[in-house]
Structure 1
């Protein structure tokens, strides 16, 4: 009887049911679109952050910045030997630790021993500046008119003090400056650190046995620019490294131009047993702040930067869109959803008012108020479920359109100043911190979002049913008789 009456009434009041369902569908669809776009924003930000410090890294540990005026930084100095041949090429290079701040390699073990740390690995970030060119001696040319102006035998060369007058022409210096970045990676632990943000597209990656081998992996963009390939060599401070692989960054710029084993990087930089950055993976992503506090407390002289800290430095259209989606979009969807619930409730209550004669007659025939209320709530619940189905369909369509269009957002990465005047997360991030990255926006819809939409549909039906049920429970058989009269 319940379902028969329910089906008949919904068929008889199709327009009213469609209006209620459409209102709920609008609110639910907006919630799905906003949620999926917010998830896409979060995914895009993760790509930006991973391009700096690699997959799996929850935080980095660097040396605390030197105090102002303490002389913690230095300027590169280049020296050239004197050569007899004027056309001889002069060449010199300088390997510098990025940020000029290092930690003892033993810090990696100390960090790894902290509670809540699942893994820790050290890395050394270097900048190599190579200067090539030559000096050219100028030629002195005598002024042809100087002798005539002084007179005297032979035309004279008398300038002031008996010195010849003339000028120096030509000469000077021409030098090319080539700067590139090198990252020393721990080849025994390659699952953590900046190299994980790139994929090996040619050749191979390092072997665990190549801790002190003269081998290198080159970034694809740098390899293309310099004509490097697997099997060729790249020179770092006079040492040649055989390229065994070429890597391509998953998104944005690579963390470094060239990757070499950590021990080799320490050797060429004259930084034995030193690292610039410790990359840390927490055992529990919910305890990152606790782990950060423990490291700062137990290991003095360090700066700990989490991925959340780095996310605060992201600016550009990605940051603006993310703020809009998380604030304006979220509040807008909530406002629309609340309005849809209220409208559905009011429409259901209004429909009950128009059915006074019907419900009054049913009560006169023996229906109790509870049965009438359940009938109204049942109708409203079905309307809510129909709205949920329609809203999910519209929301999925909206998310698909966003993913298909895939608008490009820009992310500008600013420096937090941690780690001795370097990049946001220390290490290679210093080279990419001031660059703009282009990220394609997607709108992934998760199962959780669908379940939330179903819950909202049920909630909307119950809210509307509560309005109508309350109204129906107050009706009396006498009201029906008055309407008949």
Structure 2
């Protein structure tokens, strides 16, 4: 009886039912769209952070640079040997650690032993400034003319140096020392070997290197090519491409070789940490800071605050304006559905009054109204899910490109935990291009179904309360 009456009543009021369903559908579709775009923003930010941290990294441990002593200079300096030849080539490398004050390698084990830490790996970030070129020696020539004041009227000239000068090129690139025993965590974890191979566990102190694809292209390196860093010859064994966005590191070498180049024996600049439980990252951060003094622990949420550009702007809009707008539209849809249902009940006074006169209790009348509203809500939910999925598909198909600028200032911050985050007083910035997608998760679909049921219940509760208060006498008074 309930189902038959429900089907008949909804069929009689198709337009009213459709208006209620469409109102709920628009609100639900907007919620799905905003949630999917917001999820896409989070994925885009994760790609940016993973390209900096390395896959699987939850936090980094660094130490701030100390202020330079009075009279000392932290900037690079170059010395060239004087040679007698008129034109001689000169080359000098300046290798400096960057990304913060160097830490003892033993701290890696201390971090690994902290509660909640799954694994920890140390890395050394270096900045290499290579200056090469040549000096050209000038030649002394007489200026000519005569010196009448000389004894006996002898002629002479004042010699002048003409020609000469210098022509030097400056090449600045970053080097990361990698723990070859655990490459799944650290700066090389976010890279994919596209040519050649990566390090083996036996190459802990081998003079081999993996270079980024962009750097290899600029220097015309390929697998088997050789180059020198501060007089040490390295052989390229692999060329790597970032898994997402761009990499800020040009050259990867075994950690021991990097320590030798940077005169930082048994030192690291960054400790990459993976937590046992991603939900306990803040607790692990406090644990490390409490037990290992003087260190700076940077988590992914801390790093997210350094991301600027259109990605950050769009993410803020989706998080604040978009969600508040979807909530406002959803509340309005619920109210419209409730008011329309209540209005429809008011126009059915004779019907409900007659049903009560025939013996229907108030509870049964209320259930009938709530049932009709629930059907309207589910129809609206189905339409809303369809519209939301269509909107998310359009966003993913268009894939608008957003820019993410990651900048960090060295000095006291030590690069904020960036691998290769700049030397003392150095400011670095890296602009990345990220394609936006709008993934729709099962949780979002479940949320949409819940909203549809909630909308139907709200509308049904309001209409059912109105219907339950009607009396059979009301039906008789409505007869003209």
TM above 0.5: yes
User: What secondary structure is seen at the aligned counterpart in 2 of 1:147?
Assistant: coil
What TM-score comes out, normalization by structure 2 length?
A: 0.95
Aligned-pair CA distance for 1:458 = 0.4
Which whole-Å deviations, capped at 9, do the CAs of 1:35-78 have from their partners, x for residues lacking one?
00100110111111111111111111111332476789722121
Are residues 1:253 and 2:246 paired? yes
Answer yes or no: is the 8 Å Cα contact 2:109–2:120 preserved in 1: yes
Aligned match of 2:155: 156
Distance 2:315 2:21 in 1: 30
Distance 2:190 2:244 in 1: 8
Which whole-Å deviations, capped at 9, do the CAs of 1:278-326 have from their partners, x for residues lacking one?
0001111121111111111111221111111111111111111111110
User: What secondary structure is seen at the aligned counterpart in 2 of 1:190?
Assistant: coil
Mark the CA change 1:429 to 1:253 in structure 2 (over 3 Å): closer, same or farther: farther
Distance 2:219 2:293 in 1: 42
Are residues 1:33 and 2:28 paired? no
Which whole-Å deviations, capped at 9, do the CAs of 1:322-352 have from their partners, x for residues lacking one?
1111011101100100110010000000000
Aligned match of 2:430: 435
Aligned match of 2:463: 468
Does 192-201 or 18-27 show the bigger shift?
Answer: 192-201
Aligned match of 2:21: 21
Aligned-pair CA distance for 1:383 = 0.2
Aligned match of 2:283: 290
Does 135-144 or 424-433 show the bigger shift?
Answer: 424-433
Distance 2:71 2:381 in 1: 65
Are residues 1:225 and 2:211 paired? no
Output aligned runs, 1:66-215, within 5 Å. 66-67=66-67, 74-99=74-99, 101-144=101-144, 146-147=145-146, 156-157=155-156, 164-165=157-158, 167-215=160-208
Mark the CA change 1:312 to 1:300 in structure 2 (over 3 Å): closer, same or farther: same
Aligned match of 2:416: 424
Unmatched tracts of structure 2, length 5 or more? none
Aligned-pair CA distance for 1:139 = 2.2
Aligned match of 1:160: none
Answer yes or no: is the 8 Å Cα contact 1:349–1:468 preserved in 2: yes
Tell me how many residue pairs correspond in the alignment.
477
Unmatched tracts of structure 1, length 5 or more? 158-163
Does 24-33 or 82-91 show the bigger shift?
Answer: 82-91
User: What secondary structure is seen at the aligned counterpart in 2 of 1:435?
Assistant: strand
Aligned-pair CA distance for 1:254 = 1.4
Aligned match of 2:65: 65
User: What secondary structure is seen at the aligned counterpart in 1 of 2:88?
Assistant: coil
Output aligned runs, 1:440-455, within 5 Å. 440-455=435-450
Aligned match of 1:380: 373
Aligned match of 1:414: 407
Aligned match of 1:304: 297
Aligned-pair CA distance for 1:382 = 0.2
Does 407-416 or 466-475 show the bigger shift?
Answer: 407-416
Aligned match of 2:389: 396
Distance 1:238 1:339 in 2: 71
Aligned match of 2:4: 4
Distance 1:173 1:68 in 2: 31
Are residues 1:342 and 2:326 paired? no
Aligned-pair CA distance for 1:221 = 0.4
Q: State which of 328, 345, 350 in structure 2 corresponds to 1:352.
A: 345
Aligned Cα RMSD in Å? 2.0
Q: State which of 300, 308, 313 in structure 1 corresponds to 2:306.
A: 313
Answer yes or no: is the 8 Å Cα contact 2:99–2:417 preserved in 1: no
Answer yes or no: is the 8 Å Cα contact 1:32–1:396 preserved in 2: yes
